[in-house]
Amino acid sequence: MASSHDTKRIGTERIQNIGFGFKHAGTLMAAIELSLFTKISEGAGTIEAIANACGLSLLNAERLVVACAAMELLEKKENKYVNAPDVDMYLVESKPRYFGAWSLMGKGDFADWINLADRLSNPAPPSVLGIYEKMTTEYAEALTRAMFNVGLGAGSKLAKQFDFSKYSLVLDLGGGSGAYCVSLCRRFPNLGALVFDFDNVCKVTNELIEEAGLSDRIKTHGGDFTRDPFPEGADVVMLNGNLTQYGPGEAQTIIDKAFSMLPSGGVMHIIAENLNNEKTGPKIAATWSIHEALFGSKGRAHSDAEVCEYMENAGFIEVEAVEFVHNILQRVTGFKP
């Protein structure tokens, strides 16, 4: 039987949820910092047990748990709280896909979002590198380490989607932690890789590659790929998780440079938070796009069709855009004839 709750009507709920969305982010980040999901996966299921395990008063444990349940991060089963399946996979510290560190990276920008209207109406000309213009070594280290686990999963996915067995050297532009290259090299024994990133990132990347036992096959190359020449020799170029930081002009220049250095038969992959071709979403791409306004860059999210066009303008053929991670990332791939 339909209840009054089923009636769709114009009201303020949706706007309130968006307007106070910072409360959702704040709750999620507090839960991660307090190891809530880890303690629940270890067996704490009642408010009392959770309060004890996380070092909270009963009052605050109840507040946190109820808010997480309301946001569907927790479910209630037989009077105990349990993690929702995605939370259990990605936010339990002992699990291989843990990406709490990445979820907490938003903390650094949190205060800046308050000033978004000012940033959007700031008449100052945008810079090319945005956030990377003055990246501190501290930030580079935190970002690079936070991205490693996320990148490993994405790299494994790419290794399943595309056969790298006939290629020999990958140039990973803005390769960050090197995680994509680690996953590809683990899967394809013929492959070597070069991670091109800023010097302060490469320092951390070298440590992560060494920990992965792949220092003999994956090297780093310090520099700025918008200004510096690309190292020679690669037959694969990747640009993953970077495109939104750049505007159409820079994107075209980077893709043109990649095309010039590739040999005939070489391939380029661009994995990015692309917009749909109608430019109505998805939300993750659209909000990364507006995020660039905080840092005064020229960057914005590009649609699948735009990225395909940049690739074709450069000379790539058989260019196609495919879904990579549903509603998050798309892959555009093209070949040099």
Ligand X SMILES: C[S@@+](CC[C@H](N)C(=O)[O-])C[C@H]1O[C@@H](n2cnc3c(N)ncnc32)[C@H](O)[C@@H]1O
Binding site for ligand X (CB under 6 A): 132, 147, 151, 174-177, 179-180, 196-198, 201, 224-226, 240-242, 245
With respect to ligand X, which residue has the nearer C-beta, 38 or 220?
220
Record the tokens describing residue 303, joined without a space: 């649609």
With respect to ligand X, which residue has the nearer C-beta, 49 or 325?
325
With respect to ligand X, which residue has the nearer C-beta, 201 or 307?
201
Helices marked H in 105-136 — which ranges?
Answer: 116-120
CB 53 within 8 A of CB 38: no
Positive or negative, the CA dihedral 279, 281, 282, 285 is: positive
C-beta of 107: minimal distance to ligand X in Å?
Answer: 16
What is the rounded distance in angstroms from the CA atom of residue 285 to the CA atom of residue 303?
Answer: 9
With respect to ligand X, which residue has the nearer C-beta, 53 or 272?
272
CA distances from 212 to 157, 199, 237 (A): 18, 20, 22
C-beta of 129: minimal distance to ligand X in Å?
Answer: 6
Which amino acid type is present at position 83?
A: N
What is the rounded distance in angstroms from the CA atom of residue 114 to the CA atom of residue 100?
Answer: 23
With respect to ligand X, which residue has the nearer C-beta, 192 or 299?
299
Positive or negative, the CA dihedral 14, 17, 20, 21 is: negative
With respect to ligand X, which residue has the nearer C-beta, 52 or 252?
252
With respect to ligand X, which residue has the nearer C-beta, 179 or 191?
179
CA distances from 126 to 54, 214, 246, 252 (A): 44, 39, 11, 17
With respect to ligand X, which residue has the nearer C-beta, 241 or 266?
241
Where is 87: in which H helix or E strand?
helix 85-90
CB 236 within 8 A of CB 267: yes
C-beta of 257: minimal distance to ligand X in Å?
Answer: 11
C-beta of 83: minimal distance to ligand X in Å?
Answer: 25
C-beta of 29: minimal distance to ligand X in Å?
Answer: 19
C-beta of 305: minimal distance to ligand X in Å?
Answer: 22
C-beta of 147: minimal distance to ligand X in Å?
Answer: 5
C-beta of 330: minimal distance to ligand X in Å?
Answer: 13
With respect to ligand X, which residue has the nearer C-beta, 164 or 196?
196
What is the rounded distance in angstroms from the CA atom of residue 46 to the CA atom of residue 52?
Answer: 10
What is the rounded distance in angstroms from the CA atom of residue 128 to the CA atom of residue 149?
Answer: 28
What is the rounded distance in angstroms from the CA atom of residue 51 to the CA atom of residue 44?
Answer: 9
The 169-173 sheet, strands edge to edge: 218-222, 192-197, 169-173, 236-240, 267-272, 329-335, 317-325
C-beta of 334: minimal distance to ligand X in Å?
Answer: 18
